[in-house]
Amino acid sequence: MKLKNRFFRGAVGENGFTYERIPEEIFKLYDQLSKNEVVNIFTGFTIVSDYNSASNVNQFRIDKDEYIPKYRKLVEMVHKNGANFFMQIGHVGINVIQNPETIYGPSSLPLPNKNKNSKEMTKEDILRIENDFAKGALRAKKAGFDGIEIHGAHFYLVSDFLSPIYNKRTDEYGGNDENRARFLIEIIGKIRKKVGNDFIVGVKLNCEDGDKNGITEEAFF
């Protein structure tokens, strides 16, 4: 992929998926960005599964095939304006705004301001959501995006697994750095099998958790 310049518009949540459609103001936003020399654009956080965990915030979603044509129109406009377009995909994990019945996490821990614990994900939960990431990435490719970015930061689900603050598991998905990274590595592997080698797959990570008990730059870099 060729980069016309080094101006990137990072993923910023637009809360712009209203009644399962992309409203006109979102088209206007990306039209303006792509016409003004911002030629490498990332969508806001796009949910791959368990959309009800982020209810009432109108976040982008890519958990159904029926959304592919909606995004294709948006991609075609951005490409026509000469910009590259990437979709950021993720699962909210414990980082929920609302208070849904089930809050998925690597371990069952009390959550601030929620008056409940996160649900420790079973192996079946893990495999399901890994597959949801892969299917979401394939939908993004079918919609015409140039690549995807997995959101692995800010205590969304992938970050929850990476962080020893929230990952207290004792199985192959917890404990040492390698095990805590297993969820992310498996997601990347499944995505690559779905999309092939001619599609960009990136990951957004925070270098540190901002807590002495969390991940550090040395652990993952």
Nearest CA among 205, 204, 181, 198 for reference residue 141 = 198
Please state, in angstroms and rounded to a whole number, the distance separating the CA atoms of residues 156 and 170. 20
Q: Which residues pair with 147 in a beta bridge?
A: 86, 200
Which residues are within 8 A (CB) of 190 and not within 5 positions of it... i.e. 6 or more apart? 130, 131, 133, 134
Q: Is 156 noted as a catalytic residue in this protein?
A: yes
CB-CB contact of 47 with 91 (8 Å): yes
**Which of 71, 104, 156, 166 is flagged as catalytic?**
156
- What tokens were used for 39? 């030629």
Q: Which residues carry out catalysis?
A: 156
